[in-house]
Amino acid sequence: MQSPRTAKAALPDRVEPNAPAPKPARPPAPSPQACSGANSWPFERDSYASTAISDVVDRSLHAAVSRLTAGLSPAALTEAYLDWMIHLASSPGKQTQLVEKAVRKSIRLARHMSQCMLSRTGTAARPCIEPLPIDRRFSDKEWQQWPYTFLYQSFLLHQQWWHNATTGVRGVTAQHERVVEFASRQLLDMFSPANFIATNPQVLRKSVEEGGMNLLRGWQNFVEDWERAISGAKPVGTDEFKVGGNIAISPGKVIYRNRLIELIQYAPTTDNVRPEPILIIPAWIMKYYILDLSPHNSLVRHLTGQGFTVFMISWKNPDPDDRDLGMQYYNTLGIMAALDTVSAVLPKSKIHAVGYCLGGTLLATAAAAMARDGDDRLQSMTLLAAQTDFSEAGELMLFINESQLSFLEDTMWEQGFLDTKQMAGAFQLLRSNDLIWSRMIHDYLMGERAPMNDLMAWNADATRMPYRMHSEYLRRMFLENDLAEGRYRVGDKPVALTDIRVPIFAVGTQRDHVAPWRSVFKIHLLTDSDVTFLLTSGGHNAGIVSEPGHSGRSYQVQTKSHLDRYTAPDTWAASTPTKSGSWWPEWTAWLVERSGTLVGPPQIGAETAGLYPMCDAPGTYVMQD
């Protein structure tokens, strides 16, 4: 049996079976008879050089434009607004309703303003509109004083009116409606009274108290951030966190490496271990050490402390030479190579496989292919904030249509990968109030710096995405939803998630903008296995990094047998009791129930298979910028 170490990693000269079919550059050559006479023009062919040059020109132009638009397609946005404007212009009933709403809101605002002005104490009357629960911009009591109450109430009423104007217009496609509503909300948020010195009472008070020194510090913060952004340096405070120094320090060894992954085997921390090892597949959109941050919140350390042998994939940060790495290579050189290596170290043991985010989607496809092919090495499958059905993938779907994907592909085509800044910009837009405007107010107007923590430092250590892989992923998973609908191919045949029979533990997070928990919940519909679904507080990252002792954490959990009837997600949430604390002990108890009795720990690597410790964890790939 060939050692995984000696497996060839060179790219074959062929197109992967699951790669998008190439579009012909020109029609087949017609016969000479067809090309003669007055009707020969439909059959004339452009020269290869002409086709190639025009393609390069178009792609290069789109790539240049993307640098100004943060990777967003102007054509996609224009198309959405035209759809909305045309249908609104032909809907006099909707227009009349909007006029009526505007009049009513103006009357409410005028009444509120009068009550505030007549108030002897200067305290505002009861607000005529309340912010959404997630909107904390105007929660301070100073916003309830005249004239600031008028400013923010007016802003919220305008925002509400524009929401009414951009939604509910008959004939507008759902995709275009979401884009127009989202884009309009982003534009309005730019003009929030909280974003300006003269209209933010907290900034004004602090400026008076400090004689404007907060603004001077804010200017210094802005200049420092700008210089770091221009030079490509990481944000202020990240220097305090060193990979392999005070984060990602769980002891272990890299025992396998190919052109795409390093596989880390962690040292045991208990005298005896469970016979079934755990293989963790993180997303390659992030560096693996989110699951091995500081010692107190390291999931790896928690698992080894519970008597598990843990293996972790560390993905290479792709460069232009990796532009042609597709999803098939992430399956063969990634998860399957890792499984082969773990099986070489522990040949008689089944494996608890864990996938996080995109790594979970890859794990689900691999598990389906393994079930299809009779490979029974998996003992269980855990999906952490991972989607397998992308029909309701949240606000990320705003960026997924043919126009946007073509524009994005042209951007990646020129440089060979999707840059970290382009990805970060899209995710920041999804939470602009929290990630853009609140930071601007805090750092630049208040002149304060939020202390850096290990999770924030990890978030600033982003990775790139290969051109081919990202294109295939967005098209096959997001746009066409091939995995959920049985068209996604692994090898030369499609896979079906219904083939998976191992028990599944799926985790969703309540405030996830990347993998909304209702989308993660769809695993119930797609598999015929026993599914334990857990919904935890927090977001896509902070909800997963939820160590025991973390204050304010809670979760809900319930197991559904493959024989039970389906329960809708909202019904599930309403009927499932809430438990306080971290969800990690709940999960480890679930793993223990599906594991054997304790045995002696395995050696690091496998000499008989040619797997020797190559270097200490965290390895070399994680250090790549």
pLDDT tens digits along 326-351:
999 999 999 999 999 999 999 999 99
Task: Kindly report the number of other CB atoms within 10 A of residue 5's CB atom.
Answer: 20
Residue given tokens 């062919």 in the structure block: 45
Give the Cα-Cα-Cα angle 235, 540, 406 (nearest 5 degrees).
80
Average pLDDT over residues 265-286: 95
pLDDT of residue 16: 40
pLDDT band of 193, cuts 50, 70, 90: very high
- 589 C-beta neighbours (distance < 10 Å), count: 10
Tokens 């212009």 belong to 89
C-beta of residue 506 within 8 angstroms of C-beta of residue 583: no
Residue 477: DSSP 8-state = I
Q: How confident is the model at residue 116 (pLDDT cuts 50, 70, 90)?
A: confident
- Total-model pTM: 0.85
CB atoms within 10 A of CB 578: 11
Please confirm, yes or no, whether 357 is among the known catalytic residues: yes
The answer to whether residues 211 and 218 touch, using CB atoms and an 8 Å cutoff, is no
CA distances (Å), origin 452, targets 153, 158, 239, 431, 445? 34, 35, 10, 19, 19
Helices and strands per DSSP (H, E), number in the chain? 21, 15
pLDDT band at 520 (very low <50, low <70, confident <90, very high): very high
CB 46 within 8 A of CB 33: no
Average pLDDT rounded to a whole number, residues 76-97: 94
State the catalytic residue, choosing from 35, 116, 128, 357. Answer: 357
Angle at 69 between CA 64 and CA 75, to 5 degrees: 90
Give the pLDDT band (50/70/90) at residue 405. Answer: confident
Whether 182 contacts 395, CB under 8 Å: yes
The pair phi, psi for residue 568, each rounded to 5°, is: -65, 150
In this prediction, residue 625 carries a pLDDT of 82
Q: How much is the CA Rg of the chain, to the nearest whole Å?
A: 27
Residue 24 has what DSSP assignment?
A: P
CA gap 137, 188 in Å, rounded: 14
CA-CA distance, 288 to 277, in Å (whole number)? 18
Identify the pLDDT of residue 578: 96
Q: Of the candidates 548, 447, 397, which has an alpha carbon nearest to the alpha carbon of residue 218? A: 447
Structure tokens at 221: 């913060």
Could you give the C-alpha distances from 228 to 100, 218, 224, 238, in angstroms and in order?
50, 15, 6, 12
Rounded Cα distance between 622 and 315, Å, is 7
Give me the half-sphere count of Cα atoms (radius 13 Å) on the Cβ side of residue 595. Answer: 23
d(CA 535, CA 506): 9
d(CA 194, CA 445): 10
Determine the pLDDT at residue 24: 38
Say whether pLDDT at 25 is over 70: no
Among the listed residues 27, 56, 58, the one whose alpha carbon sits nearest the alpha carbon of residue 44: 27
Q: Which residue has the tokens 């290596």?
A: 341
Confirm if 386 and 355 have CB atoms less than 8 A apart.
yes
